Amino acid sequence: MVITVTLNPAMDKTLMVDNFKVGAVNRANISRYDIGGKGINVSKVLKEFGVDSLCLGFLGGIWEQRFKDTLDKRNIKHDFISIKGDTRTNTKIVDINNNVFTDINEPGPEIATEELELFIEKFNHRCKVEDIVVLSGGAAPGIPKDIYKTLIDIAKKKGTLCILDADGELLKYGLEAKPHIIKPNEHELSKMLCQEITTKDQVIQAGKKLQSSGISKVLVSLGEKGSILTAPEGVYEAEGLKVKVKSTVGAGDSMVAALIYAHLKGFTPEDTLAFAQATATATVMMEGTEACSLNHVMEMVEMSKEKVKELK
Ligand SMILES: Nc1ncnc2c1ncn2[C@@H]1O[C@H](COP(=O)(O)OP(=O)(O)OP(=O)(O)O)[C@@H](O)[C@H]1O
Ligand SMILES: [Mg+2]
C-alpha cells in the first residue's frame, strides 16, 4: 500500500475575478473548491495511474466531511485524525483579463498534543513492510519541526520505503532520518545545503553528496529547465520540455507520484526520469489543481525519453 501524509490539508478556493482590484469590492464570476494538500495531490495522481493509496493526516471543522466525501467519490482511501480546529482554506484569485494570480494561504489549525499523539500512533499502526510512505508539504502550527524525522524513523523500522518532499526545517530534520528518496526543487536544495545552487554542476555535486550521506535517490526538479536524478546506477538529466503552460500548481507533487509508479513498475533510472518528467509536463499543461491522466503522460513519454541522458 502507498500511504500519503498531509499534515496541513487545505481547501483550495479559486475565485475568477475580471480586473481584480486591491482595496475595492470585486465580484467573482466563478468560484470553485478543490481538496488540496501535497500528500492528497500525490494520491489524486496515483489514482489516475491506477495505484491505490491511503491518505493520512488531520482534518477538522466544516471541510472535514467535504474532504472525506470527495475522497470517497474518487475511490481514494483515507484515515484522518479528526481535530478540534478547522482545516484551512487557501484562496486563489485568478484575473484572466490581466493574467494576474493572487494567492492567500491560511496558516492552518493548531494541532493539540493529544491529536498529534493519536496521529503518530495511527501512522505506526498503518506502516507495514513493503509499503511506500510519502511525507510531503508543510505542517500545521503545533507540530514539531522534526515530525518527518520521527515518522521516517518509525517507517524505516517497519521496512517501509520513505519518500520526503518538504521544505525548510521540516526537510532539514527529516534528512537526519535518511529517507530513501527525496524530491527537492532548486530553492529547497539551496536552503537545505545553505548555499545558492544555480548551476547544473552544483546540482550534480549536491545530489552526490546527499546520496553519499545515505539517501538512495535524489530527484532535483528545476522548473522549466527540467530535472536531475541521482540514483545508485548513475546521474541522469532530463532537459525540460517546452509546452504551453496553464498552471504549475502540483507539478512537483505529480513527479512524486510518478516516482512511486516507476518504483512499483521496476523502471530503469532513465525510464523513471523520463516518466517523472512526462508526468510533470502533462500536469503543467492542465488548468488549476486537476490531476493529469495516464494516457496524457504516455503521450509525452517518448518525447521525454529523447531529453534524458546519463551524465558521465
Ligand atoms: N514552466 C514549465 N515548463 C515546463 N515544465 C515545467 C515548468 N514548470 C515545471 N515544469 C515541470 O515540472 C517539474 C517540477 O516543477 P518544479 O521544479 O517547479 O517543482 P516544485 O517546485 O516542487 O513544484 P510544487 O509547487 O508542486 O511543489 C519540472 O522538473 C518540470 O518537468
Ligand atoms: Mg515541491
Give the pLDDT confidence of 253-266 residue by residue, as tens digits: 999 999 999 999 99
**Which one has a higher pLDDT value, 286 or 56?**
56
Instruction: Say yes or no to pLDDT of 83 above 80.
Output: yes
253 noted as active-site residue: yes
Among 221, 239, 292, 297, the mutation site with the greatest number of ligand 1 atoms within 8 A of its Cβ is 221
Q: What are the sequence ranges of the domains in the chain? A: 2-7+37-87+108-311
pLDDT of residue 153: 98
Q: What is the pLDDT of residues 174-229, one digit of tens each?
A: 999 999 999 999 999 999 999 999 999 999 999 999 999 999 999 999 999 999 99
Of 58 and 249, the one with more pLDDT: 58
The predicted structure's pLDDT at residue 49:
98
Q: Which range, of 143-152, 197-206, 283-292, averages the lowest pLDDT?
A: 283-292
- Strand, helix or coil for residue 254: helix
- Out of 167, 255, 279, mutate this one to test ligand 1's pocket (max ligand atoms within 8 Å of CB): namely 255
For 252, the grid coordinates are 512537483
| Separation CA 292–CA 251 (nearest Å) | 10
C-alpha cell at 306: 529523447
Name the grid cell of 33.
Answer: 473548491
Distance CA 124, CA 182 (A): 21
Segment 32-40 mean pLDDT: 95
- Under the banding of pLDDT at 50, 70 and 90, the label for residue 298 is very high
The answer to whether residues 85 and 60 touch, using CB atoms and an 8 Å cutoff, is yes
Ligand in closest contact with the CA of 222: 1
What mean pLDDT comes out for the span 9-25? 96
Residue 295's pLDDT is 97
Pocket of ligand 1 (CB under 6 A): 185, 221-224, 226-227, 240-241, 243, 245, 248, 250-253, 255, 277, 280-281, 284
Average pLDDT over residues 29-52: 96
| Mean pLDDT, the chain, integer | 96
- Confidence bin at 289 (pLDDT 50/70/90): confident
Catalytic residue among 103, 167, 253, 271: 253
Residue 58: per-residue pLDDT = 98
* For residue 99, pLDDT beyond 90: no
At residue 287, the pLDDT reads: 80
Region 1-14: mean pLDDT is 97
The predicted pLDDT at position 246 comes to 86
- CA neighbor of 223 nearest in space, from 162, 280, 308, 152: 280
Q: Distance between CA atoms of 160 and 131, rounded to whole angstroms?
A: 5
Ranges of H-type helices in the chain: 38-48, 63-73, 113-126, 147-158, 168-176, 186-193, 200-212, 251-265, 269-284, 294-306
Other beta carbons less than 10 A from residue 115's beta carbon: 20
The angle formed by the CA atoms of residues 174, 176 and 182, to the nearest 5 degrees, is: 55
Share of the chain above pLDDT 70, in %: 100
- pLDDT band at residue 290 under the 50/70/90 scheme: confident
Name the fold adopted by 2-7+37-87+108-311: UDP-N-acetylmuramoyl-L-alanine:D-glutamate ligase (3.40.1190)
Q: What is the pLDDT of residue 96?
A: 83
Query: How confident is the model at residue 41, as a pLDDT?
Result: 96
pLDDT category at 249 given cuts 50, 70, 90 is confident
For residue 312, name the pLDDT band (cuts at 50, 70, 90).
confident
pLDDT at 302 over 90: yes
